Amino acid sequence: MVIRSGKTGSICHISRGVASLLTRTHASAPRREAPAPVSDSDKRPNLRAIDLARKIRQEKQNGKATGGGSEAAVPNPSVPVSPLQKRVIELRQFTQQLQNVHPNVLAKHLHRGLILPHPELAVINKPYGVSVQDGSRDKNNITDVLPILAKMMDGIRAGTQLHVCLGLDKETTGTLLLARTEEALDYVQNLHKNHQVERKYWVVAVGVPVPSEGVIDIPVIEREVTGAQPHFKMGLSPVYRVSEGGEGVTKVRANRQAQGAVTRYRVLDSSNGCSLVELQPVTGVKHQLRVHMAYALGSPILGDHKYSHWTKLAPQARYLPLHLHARQLTVPEFKGQSDITVSCPLPKYFTSTLRRLQIPIPDEKEEE
């Protein structure tokens, strides 16, 4: 089935049941306890200035410890958290460390995640929260440490280079394809331009897409969202609209600035109002998968704070990571040889969420 219509103004919310189920798992910090009632002795006007300063300082420290300060604040260690909450906290801390560690440390971590040791290609398991290219405020990005990674892979050898063939967003995990020669880089990029490189992503979706399998063929365009938090985001630009009588559709003039976007999807399993969905992008438009899931299928990706609501930037649950994983990559008949297919295991937070939602994990033995 081909889906050819969608509302750019649709608003996607997490159901109350799913929110309560996941908030217990992924809440980054417990709620602050209510302040104790003020006694009569505290109301006395002869409070010294030094006592007042100490009180204000203590309240600020308590606010930071309970999550009332910045997002980087550390939760209060005196308040117990569940094992799954602890994993989310550890993921955030680990991500922050990778963003700011010495480049050699990041390169060593990427080297441990090497999946495909090929003479001309390499695939690494990209970690969550690390940018592929420069442009963010983070100290590190993968492109800058590729020279160090190349020496770790081949030893200290002059002329060794690595090039990113197909990039991934900062919050996306999984297969990141690298070329070890400029010739291999050009070859793969030409295949990609002709839509011959097959990429499969796994996402945890809030909701269950209907129908369970199909093709989304709706152009995508960048739009400005006005309001209390003005910002830009990608949205749908359908070329069909429902007729006034509600019967049939009418073709409309396509927006010149819109980009064609086609995504194949298939629901692998579902439970508790959420689903595990496999996505296969035919085109490569910015945020294509996130927009098609949220606005075309009405099932936003779990942890997608940008596209879960159209008019505002509001998190589904604080610190909840984006559940978007580049699962598999296939380069067909590389230079006349057989196809190269590489699969990347799911990150721990992804599998923990699936177990919490009671969604069976396909090929679970491979994930362990």
Taking residue 336's Cβ as centre, other Cβ atoms within 10 Å add up to 5
Pick left, alpha or beta for residue 67 (phi over 0 → left; psi -120 to 50 → alpha; otherwise beta). Answer: left
CA 100/CA 269 separation, integer angstroms? 37
Q: Which region holds residue 246: left if phi is over 0, alpha if psi is between -120 and 50, else beta?
A: left
Show Cβ contacts of residue 27 under 8 Å, excluding neighbours closer than 6 positions: 85, 88, 317, 318, 319
Q: What is the DSSP letter of 301?
A: B
CA distance 167 to 62: 41
**Tokens 């159209």 belong to residue:** 310
Cα gap 197→42, rounded to integer Å:
70
Among residues 138, 144, 169, 269, which one is catalytic?
169
Please indicate whether residue 138 is annotated as part of the active site: no
Instruction: Tell me how far apart the alpha carbons of residues 148 and 336 are, in angstroms, rounded to a whole number.
Output: 31
∠ CA(24), CA(325), CA(103), 5° rounding?
100
Q: Dihedral sign for Cα 81, 87, 92, 96, please.
A: positive
How far is it, in rounded angstroms, from Cα 274 to Cα 73?
Answer: 30
CA atoms within 13 A on the CB side of 156: 0
Q: Please give the Cα distance from 278 to 267 (Å, whole number).
A: 6
Closest CA to 4 of 218, 214, 212, 215: 218
Of residues 191, 183, 198, 170, the one with CA closest to residue 121: 183
Catalytic residue list? 169
